[in-house]
Structure 1
């Protein structure tokens, strides 16, 4: 006996059980409006490729086997094409140590970074992902905006850990560095003294320093986070 389908419905169409699960995830807010829009735009398959690439990165650079294929990824906004995935145990000091292994670095303190850097987003409770613009220099439209300015404008910025991962991933891909002419203000993080970390490549090494939360100038710019 031949199977019958609703007009336009084929054997490759979703099953009733799959549709039920789909709407259940919408109701539970696991599937958000942004994630659904990404799927409708055909971006979901691309995201799976990106997550697989991050798994390979963690395997090759840190010797870690991290399962990311089921990770919830925020909807991608126009212009935000650089996905950063922060895995558990990616702490400030561990990330800095890895940078030191791969290229010359200098930081503003001799203290353990894990003890003095606090960030708005961390992977303490599991891996997470966040989008940024895929650009060498930090966001130009955020120049002359301090960390406090960004907070008042409700503009989420990159954290210290995300910035170091961005540097490591970019170096792995290109053997080059970010922020050649400007500084990335890690406005999503604070040092224990209230200062805000920043980073840049000064020609021969990766420099990490900090400034007051009201510090601003043309070259000091955050990177807006989409999470």
Structure 2
């Protein structure tokens, strides 16, 4: 698939999700959804219709992705991710746990590279700022789904810091697409970099 067309399709998936979140999908949105080979986004049509919390305001010019996490944990989500592309497990996923309370649906901004959100913000700093990022479970699911829906990899030039999860050593898992595989590593809680950012959960 042409790279430019693929990236346009990835952004279109974000636009469709935004319409679903606003309970206002157009006929064209539904046509595109039903044309996608991956049933995940079709199932999302049935599960996403719920009122947004009153304190959540979606930005008019920003598109969003929803993450539905039914009965998932880091290990199950990683196994699903393995079925989509090659993976590299530098950090042992078997020792990762999610530390945020599980909710059925999360929403994040539809950014292909996370470094546009909060670069140079470590886990410790994000806690000071009151920012909540994705769990590793959510990261695996959204990364795999966007690639299956559009053929585009997330985080080709950045790392997503999954501040909602920890390894058994207290380090924070991170992920990105590195050359030919979905790469999983971890950082100390105080580590920051211009190429590292959390993906902020809207709720």
TM-score, structure 2 normalization = 0.73
2:177 counterpart of 1:194: no
TM-aligned CA deviation for residue 166 of structure 1: 1.1
Give unpaired runs (5+ residues) of structure 2: 1-17
In 2, are the aligned partners of 1:139 and 1:224 still within 8 Å (CA)?
Answer: no
1:67-146 equivalent positions in 2, closer than 5 A: 68=47, 70-74=49-53, 75-78=56-59, 80-110=62-92, 112-113=94-95, 116-123=96-103, 128-146=104-122
Q: Which residue of the partner structure matches residue 190 of structure 2?
A: 214
Deviating more after overlay: 75-84 vs 196-205? 75-84
CA distance in 2, matches of 1:141, 1:76: 17
In 2, are the aligned partners of 1:118 and 1:192 still within 8 Å (CA)?
Answer: no
Per-residue CA shift, 1:102-138, capped at 9, x if unaligned? 100012344625xx31231424xxxx22222211100
Alpha-carbon distance change, 152 to 68 in structure 1, aligned in 2, over 3 angstroms: same
Alpha-carbon distance change, 211 to 65 in structure 1, aligned in 2, over 3 angstroms: closer
State the structure with bigger RCO (CA 8 A, min sep 6), 1 or 2: 2
In 2, are the aligned partners of 1:158 and 1:224 still within 8 Å (CA)?
Answer: yes
TM-aligned CA deviation for residue 58 of structure 1: 7.0
Give the SS at the match of 1:142: coil
In 2, are the aligned partners of 1:120 and 1:159 still within 8 Å (CA)?
Answer: yes
CA distance in 2, matches of 1:166, 1:199: 12
Give the SS at the match of 1:181: coil
Q: Which residue of the partner structure matches residue 7 of structure 1?
A: none
Alpha-carbon distance change, 121 to 164 in structure 1, aligned in 2, over 3 angstroms: farther
| Structure with the greater alpha carbon radius of gyration | 1
Q: Which residue of the partner structure matches residue 24 of structure 2?
A: 45
Per-residue CA shift, 1:25-59, capped at 9, x if unaligned? xxxxxxxxxxxxx99xx932239x79x88x93078
Q: Which residue of the partner structure matches residue 142 of structure 2?
A: 166
